[in-house]
Amino acid sequence: MSSIKAVTARSPSDELAAAIYVELVGRAFLRVENAATIKPEPKVLVALSFELAAEFEKVEKVHRAAAGPQNVGYDVKLMDLGTLK
């Protein structure tokens, strides 16, 4: 029998938070005499990553809605649909 690992599906929000976390950790290192330490606590960076991802998705949703087709005030009547002869 072969062992099959269960793959858990991650939401796009989780993927974005993970990418933000990797970027924050990469920028948060403090190098002191050949020793690298992370200045902020990792838990703080995780929380910040999820908050930033949530805010990004909120703004992205508004931006996509604004970029989509807009109703310019045309009022559709029943005759416009061609159902009446």
Backbone angles phi, psi at 11, to 5 degrees: -75, 160
pTM of the model: 0.61
Mean pLDDT of successive 10-residue segments in the chain (85 residues)?
61 91 82 73 91 94 84 73 63
Predicted pLDDT at 39: 77
Q: Are 25 and 38 in contact (CB under 8 A)?
A: yes
Question: Distance (Å, rounded) from C-alpha 46 to C-alpha 17?
Answer: 8
